[in-house]
Amino acid sequence: MENIYDVLKQRDLIKQITFEDEFESISKSEKFAVYLGIDPTADSIHIGHFIPLMMMSYFQKCGHTPILLIGGGTAFIGDPSGKTDMRKMLSKEDISKNVDNIIKQVSRFISFDGDNAAIIVNNGDWILDLNYMDFIRTYGVYFNVNRMLDAECFKQRMEKGLTFFELNYMLMQSYDFLHLFEEKGCKVQIGGDDQWSNMLAGVDLIRKIHKNGSFCITCPLLLNSEGKKMGKTVNGALWLDAKKTSPYEFYQYWRNIGDTEVYDVLRMLTYLPMDEVKKLSSLKDEQINEAKKIAAFEITKLIHGEEEAKMAEDASNALFGGSGDLSSMPTTKVDCANISILDAIILTNIAPSKGQARTLIAQRWYIFK
């Protein structure tokens, strides 16, 4: 069985890590629990959750036990990281519905069977019943407000005014890690790079109380050739829910990535061996399109299953290669014979408004590359 530190380094999946030498050492001698937290602020996870989930799946493949923490408690606050405005507060009913949907989606990445079967926990089980005065008295003394306000996760919110309500998010997430450390033997938290400040606070809290044994690792962001986050479509986020982003649209997104993006997409979002990743990403000119087709198929298969991936591939081949099946391609029935291109774009949900439709046309954008 491979060593998790070596796997993550080989695929360049470590952006930041605490106590790296110590982590490398224990990863070679111990099997431990590792957790990833997802707040159920939407009824689906999106491409931003993809890389941390892939990282978690590699931990499981290397013999460690994944803990998926659903933030049924912290969702009542909302993570202020990277936000300029306060998040919308959700009802208990909305949070419960979102939790059920997210659990179904993550089962594509991690297994709930076997010796190191994944565990699902909901921090609402321990956070919502906390006595606030007892909590602040016991754990608040470990947090320095000056350091908290310097944290990257709060900077954008500081521009409009960070509420005390939101400031508590870091304390609650840190307490999550402490709780899992004490109750489940969890030593590692993983997450996106935008969570670095919150994760550091958790490691710091555990080490102040228990002196050692905790680590956090962030994964890199998936960026396009312009240095912007990948996963944004004309209609918004690239969702993993087929009802929000169809398997065909999902497939086409990855089929149309830039040549320079192939390497990062293959190494971060597929299980292909690195030798094959390097071989495919080194292809030039027209041949690189074959690598993009493989990337699109592998990623769609992972998220939507092999059958849906095959149908999306067939529809793409039928449109652009002259062979295949068009039946799985999304269609919209138009009742009127005469319709403007602007109205057609809006009717088919390619753009939400005529203003955005005009922008797409001005940029000589077209639906299928």
* Residues labelled as active-site residues: 41, 46, 49, 83, 87, 173, 194, 229, 232-233
Task: State how far the Cα of 294 lies from the Cα of 277, in Å rounded to an integer.
Answer: 10
| Alpha helix positions (H), 62-140 | 92-106, 124-127, 132-139
7 in helix, strand or coil?
helix
Task: State how far the Cα of 49 lies from the Cα of 240, in Å rounded to an integer.
Answer: 9
Q: Quick check: 245 and 239 in contact, CB under 8 A?
A: yes
CB-based contacts of 291, cutoff 8 Å, min separation 6:
262, 266, 280, 281, 283
* Backbone phi, psi, residue 154, to 5°: -100, -10
CB-based contacts of 251, cutoff 8 Å, min separation 6:
296, 297, 300, 309, 312, 313, 316
CB-based contacts of 241, cutoff 8 Å, min separation 6:
43, 44, 101, 105
CB-based contacts of 304, cutoff 8 Å, min separation 6:
242, 247, 250, 312
293: left (phi over 0), alpha (psi -120 to 50) or beta: alpha
Task: State how far the Cα of 231 lies from the Cα of 18, in Å rounded to an integer.
Answer: 28
34 in helix, strand or coil?
strand
Beta bridge partners of 119: 67
* Distances from the Cα of 81 to the Cα of 23, 77, 85, angstroms: 26, 12, 10
SS3 content of the chain, % helix, strand, coil (to 5): 55, 10, 35
